[in-house]
Amino acid sequence: MLSRNRARPALLGAAATVAGLVLAGLPATVSHAADQESCRPDGLYKTPGVDVPYCSVYDAEGREKMGADHQRRVIGYFTGWRTGKDGTPAYLAPDIPWDKVTHLNYAFAHIDGSNKISVGTDSATNAATGMTWPGVSGAEMDPAFSYKGHFNLLNKFKKQHPNVKTLISVGGWAETGGYFADDGTRVNSGGFYSMATNADGSVNQAGIDTFADSAVDFIRKYGFNGVDIDYEYPTTMKDAGNPLDWSLSNARRSGLVKGYAALMKTLREKLDRAGAADGRHYLLSVAAPSSGYLLRGMETFQVQKYLDYVNIMSYDLHGAWNEYVGPNASLFDDGKDAELAAAGVYSTAQYGGIGYLNTDWSYHYFRGSMPAGRINIGLPYYTRGFKNVTGGTDGLWGKAASTNCPAGSGLTKCGDGATGIDNLWHDLDTNGKESPAGSNPMWHAKNLEKGVVGDYMTKYGFPAGTELTGTYARKYDSTLVAPWLWNAEKKVFLSTEDEQSVNAKADYVVENGIGGTMVWELAGDYGWNAAKGQYEPGSTLTTAMYEKFKSASPYGAKRSTVDLPGKALNIGVEFGQFPLGDSNYPISPKLKITNNTSATLPGGTEFRFDYGTSAPGNAKDQSGWGTSVIRSDHTGSNVGGLKGDHHRVSLKLPSWQTLAPGASVELDFVYYLPVSTPSNWTVTFGGTTYALAGDLTRGTTVVEPGSGTPTPSPTPSDGTGSCTAPAWSASTEYGGGGTVSHQGHSWKAKWWTKGEEPGTTGEWGVWQDLGAC
């Protein structure tokens, strides 16, 4: 969850544009490959009728080209407000480790009162376009550009590092529902909420078109490679997002998800058209929530197909918005999360013991609908913390309750956030007082750990001679992959990030084929100044990730873990009619299937699809379609991480029902933790298995049923390849205790059976799943 001034509690014609790109040191044209489709990433939506120049950004496997020593992304948020003009340490474009990063997201632009993208009025005090830094080495303006400020310097350094891409990030915690005027006051204009969604919950397409057109003009004018949307949050969960926005957002909850989807589709199509005209593919990404609570109200996050990649805000998982003391950004669950335990998550059988406040869970949420390489996990270069902590182990999973909540937070009961020297990067509440949060750059946290009072303290308003109270002892939990500082005398808990945790997370990225990492924010990284004997802003953590990634294998470019048919049918599948907010448990949408082919689907037609292991493998329908989970890549709790990516589901059109061309049918579907859009669909009838066109799978051809060469059904992976039991046969009789192998699993018959397919008889049926083999 990103904010304006800290990490929070969670135009031109084509010819002129090309000239501008040359000035920016960017490629003006690309070779027009005969088949740009060969470079399209798996699952990425293509605007109809547009020859999108994917090969300007992607290779023939659909992987992003980032330079020989960048096999994975390192995306850094570069914020516009650390200018140094207030006397605190500056973080400017020359401070960025340009050779270590692959992408930079400039934070933030906003949506102005006319629904256009803006960074404020051009002036000498505008950090983005007008400010200068006389005497600062490396911050000299490039006279080739008509604008100054951060945008000038970003393009100046891109000339020297042409593989680095820049995106303009729009929104953030403080500017999702409004914006900061030139004088620093906040204008409650409605922002994303009113631009994309009308007061009655309908889609505001006029507002969306205005914004998207202005975004295209903006990136062309200032030399950006794309747009990053940080909308916090288009969810139906009441009181989500900034409390200053609730008067607008709560009234529109029923329509926020639809507005979000319309916004992303429109942006994708307008960027594609601009890219085709300019000879370069423009990127579109989002900063996505990681909390299972927020995602529960975002249906199946239907926008992922429009995104080049998603950046998961896998931080702010615990903080002073409540009393539960825990890590800011743990990699895994340990089965002891006090907040989840209090909510009954571990004890409610339908949840399967799965804890959903960790990076691994959020990665698997998105992995259910996207290739691993189109996902980036977020890392915080800042702390979150509490004071007056009681219980727990060195504070971990203890409590720190308070009723002294920040003004404007909307809270009457909150956590007792750390303050003062333990809250250097604090915000002010609506009364102008310090918001307790334990928010610090990591370089300050490292000084606390070392017992050093940095020479920068007076710049933050602390008197000369300030001394530390107590000792900040570093602690680490290897199951969570989470470090923290514990001050036993002050009862202060500061959740941190350092080389050990970052290296472990980088290993996780490599081992799982993940696209890379995203960092909020670069200014929090640290380096040791031996001459001064203190930590200062640096690049230690970013360098650690670069070293892990530079010789890694290419990231995972395919969504499915099995081979899908090469021929696809135009059969629509859609999950909709979700109950809103807190009514959405269990998660119970309607699954609508529409036959857009010229053939009638007969009774018994089988559909199969995957959903992510972020939810347990107990999905079902309540409409007589015999829904069953026929393969699970993970079972049980997720302590230490989910072991696989997908559950495979089978459901069949009832034998008495057909589906005529143009007709639709709905069934009631139920699952228990959030999942992103189910994927890897197949449909089987008449002895042939097809993929579905809506999956946008690379290499598939859309056909009519019966045309071309029949495509055999795909064979799932055998896991370890050690299935030793004989393959199941529909014509063989099996007695109780008999074992078979089928669909990559071993199965045991509980009693005599014949013709009943393993994986289709349900939990109480004849076949017991012995697990993958």
In 3-state terms, what secondary structure has residue 164? Answer: coil
So what's the pLDDT on residue 764? 61
Question: Mind listing the pLDDT tens digit for each residue in 594-643?
Answer: 999 999 999 999 999 999 999 999 999 999 999 999 999 999 999 999 99
Per-domain boundaries in the chain? 14-393+503-549, 567-717, 720-773
Mean pLDDT of all residues in 567-582: 96
46 has pLDDT over 60: yes
453 has pLDDT over 80: yes
Question: Mind listing the pLDDT tens digit for each residue in 70-93?
Answer: 999 999 999 999 999 999 999 999
6 has pLDDT over 90: no
Share of the chain above pLDDT 70, in %: 93
Residue 766: which pLDDT band, with cuts at 50, 70 and 90? confident
Question: Mind listing the pLDDT tens digit for each residue in 264-280?
Answer: 999 999 999 999 999 99
CATH number (3.20.20.70, 3.40.50.360, 2.30.40.10, 3.20.20.80) of 14-393+503-549 reads 3.20.20.80
179 has pLDDT over 60: yes
Mean pLDDT of all residues in 49-53: 96
Quickly count helices (H) and strands (E) in the chain.
12, 35
Q: How far is CA 620 from CA 217, 349, 771, in A?
A: 47, 15, 20
Hey, CA dihedral for 451, 456, 461, 464, is it positive or negative?
A: positive
Question: Mind listing the pLDDT tens digit for each residue in 371-390?
Answer: 999 999 999 999 999 999 99
Q: How far is CA 264 from CA 209, 251, 574, in A?
A: 11, 22, 17
Q: For domain 720-773, which architecture applies? A: Ribbon (2.10)
CB atoms within 10 A of CB 229: 24
Instruction: Look up tokens 């049926």; give the residue.
Output: 765
Distance CA 327, CA 484 (A): 8
Distance CA 295, CA 312 (A): 12
So what's the pLDDT on residue 744? 78
Length of the chain: 773
Distance CA 615, CA 362 (A): 11
Listing DSSP states for 50-74 in one string gives ----GGGTB-TTSPBP--TT-SSEE
283 has pLDDT over 60: yes
So what's the pLDDT on residue 712? 47
Residues 153 and 92: beta-carbon distance below 8 Å: yes
CATH 2.60.40.10 applies to domain 567-717: no
So what's the pLDDT on residue 648? 98
Residue 756: which pLDDT band, with cuts at 50, 70 and 90? confident
750 compared with 515, residue with greater pLDDT: 515
Residue 763's contacts (CB-CB under 8 Å, 6 or more residues apart) are none
Mean pLDDT of all residues in 332-343: 97
Question: Mind listing the pLDDT tens digit for each residue in 517-536?
Answer: 999 999 999 999 999 999 99
So what's the pLDDT on residue 35? 86
Residue 1: which pLDDT band, with cuts at 50, 70 and 90? very low
Burial of residue 117, with CB atoms counted within 10 A of its CB: 0-12 exposed, 13-18 middle, 19 or more buried: buried
The least confident of 11-15, 394-398, 421-425 is 11-15
Task: Decide whether 14-393+503-549 matches 720-773 in CATH topology.
Answer: no
Q: 345 in the Ramachandran plot: left (φ > 0), alpha (ψ -120 to 50) or beta? A: alpha
Which residues are bridge partners to 171 per DSSP? 230
Closest by CA position to 127, among listed 77, 87, 90, 161: 90
Q: What is the 3-state secondary structure (H, E, C) of 108-151?
A: EEEECCCCCEECCCCCCCCCCCCCCCCCCCCCCCCCCCCCCHHH
27 has pLDDT over 50: no
So what's the pLDDT on residue 10? 36
Distance CA 172, CA 715 (A): 44
Average pLDDT, the chain: 92
482 compared with 26, residue with greater pLDDT: 482
Query: What phi and psi values does residue 17 have, to the nearest 5 degrees?
Result: -65, -45
Question: Mind listing the pLDDT tens digit for each residue in 690-744?
Answer: 999 999 999 999 999 987 544 444 444 333 345 778 888 887 888 777 888 888 7
Closest by CA position to 659, among listed 641, 683, 642: 683
Share of the chain above pLDDT 90, in %: 86
So what's the pLDDT on residue 708? 55
Distance CA 374, CA 310 (A): 6
Instruction: Look up tokens 């920016």; give the residue.
Output: 24
Residue 767: which pLDDT band, with cuts at 50, 70 and 90? confident
So what's the pLDDT on residue 687? 95
Residues 365 and 313: beta-carbon distance below 8 Å: no
Distance CA 477, CA 334 (A): 9
667 has pLDDT over 60: yes
Question: Mind listing the pLDDT tens digit for each residue in 682-691?
Answer: 999 999 999 9
